[in-house]
Amino acid sequence: MSEELRLQQRLKEFYDRVPDIEDALPFKDYLLKHEDSRMAWYLLGKQYEAKGQDAKANYCFAQAGEIYEAFESKSVPAAAAAAGSFSTWSQPRRRRRGRPSIAAAVLLAAAVLLPGLKAAAPGYPIDDEGRPSAMNGQQERTDALRNDTAEVGMIAAAADPGKDGRTALGELLTQKVARTPLVLVKAVSLGEWNDWLRSGKPLAAVSPGSAPGTAVVSWYDPAWCGCEPGDAGKLNELVRNWKPVQEEKLVLVSAIVRYRAKFGKMPATPEALAGSYPSNHMAGWTKPMTEWFAELTKPEAGTGEEGLRGQSIWPFGSGSGRTVPSGAWRSLTERPLEIVVDTVHHRLAVVSGRVLLRNYEVGLGGTRTPLGTFEITEKVRNPNGKSDGPFGSRGMTLSDTRYAIHGTDDPESINKDESQGCIRMKKEDLEELYDLVPTGTKVTIAKGGLPGAVRVPPERFRLPNASDETNPRKTYDWLT
């Protein structure tokens, strides 16, 4: 049968089965001109189903076949099977090269299937095989993708296309934000943790389409789309540059949360957070923090003892600091920084929820190191006036006890149980940790729980400091 006769037959069958087609729904024109688009048939069926037009929906579900069964976890409805039983479209076909996998199809239908969302097709361009077309989508991208100074509205991390990837992309497709694109990135797992430093490879970007209410999904990883991906280009650099800004923002938020928990009020000025000892709750201050501080300390900001109330105070600031983390990184908008110590693996991690930002080697004291929950109650530079003494260049007291996180003049003791109970750290690791965590930070010491893999960035986090954080009035006698 010629292609022209096949198209005429398909048109007739469609009109015979669903004659009332005055409504204009996405994918309809496309489906009348392309043969093998089961994903699009499924999306169109969901639209009709949402409108209460079951006959049309069932007809479309019959054409969707295994796609319908994969998403709905049930067989095609009997009415739908009957409607499509005679159709040449439902006959077995040779699998075309490059056709998307079920996992890729899950991502395509995310906006339709997520609970609580309207059953509406996302409206991205689809190629002749029912997959997102990276090349066709290039022309519809906004200038934001090609602009070095683009402001991304959201960066959502996901680890698996068939699981959290479906939810993360669905969230991007349903966002109503002024800044675009919205970026989906790869979340790398490290045991039960999300590996912050190794995550962030761009997978897809969502930008407005040419027609109102539509979106373009541009893909950058063939394992996620089952297609020929585009070039992520500047998005790789953009995400890399955004992550240190996110750390800086999270340090400030954590400091405000801990300050309010301790004093029952918001800090009045930046100096209340980053002043001289004992007001050195933070180790320093940056210029962007001044603007962020003003927004975070507004009465309506909602920063409280229990952490951050979702995105009620997020985003804030300008530029790349305003981009919202989501997906596997959502806890960065909800949970202040904490410290976890693993006495089995001799590791100390900085975490926010299940996101592991750092994982350092430490020296411990075996059974002399107490298990339990503590908090950092004091931070001091050059304890006892020395940067190379038994406590090193920094010290952080745990819950007003003789236990502390500090440096050491015996670097060979790292990864061993040779201390009297304190947590020893290498100089560079300690100084980065000191800048990352404010006073009041929760510290959990437990047997196990952290991966053995060390995670430190090639360029360490540092805060510019102009305050005097020494304390010459006290002689420290921590248990070394």
Let me know if 406 is a catalytic residue: yes
Q: Which two tokens stand for residue 326?
A: 């989501």
Q: Which of 433, 447, 475, 455 shows the shortest CA–CA distance to 355?
A: 455
Q: What is the pLDDT of residues 189-219, one digit of tens each?
A: 999 999 999 999 999 998 887 776 677 888 9
Three-state DSSP at 135 gives helix
pLDDT of residue 108: 42
- Alpha helices by DSSP H, listed for 394-456, are 427-436
Catalytic (active site) residue 422? yes
Q: What are the structural domains of the chain?
A: 3-94 (no CATH), 134-232 (no CATH), 239-331 (no CATH), 338-446 (2.40.440.10)
Of the residues 60, 225, 227, 422, which is catalytic? 422
Tens of pLDDT, residues 105-144? 334 443 333 332 222 223 333 333 333 333 333 333 333 3
Are 256 and 250 in contact by the 8 Å Cβ rule? The answer is no
Computed on alpha carbons and rounded to an integer, the radius of gyration of the chain in Å comes to 28
Q: Which two tokens stand for residue 64?
A: 């969707």
Q: 333 by DSSP, 3-state: which?
A: helix
Q: For 428, list phi and psi in degrees, rounded to 5.
A: -65, -40
Mean predicted confidence (pLDDT) in 351-371: 97
pLDDT tens figures, 175-190: 766 667 899 999 999 9
Among 281, 345, 346, 406, the active-site one is 406
The number of angstroms, rounded, from the C-alpha of 294 to the middle of its chain's C-alpha atoms is: 25
DSSP for residue 146: G
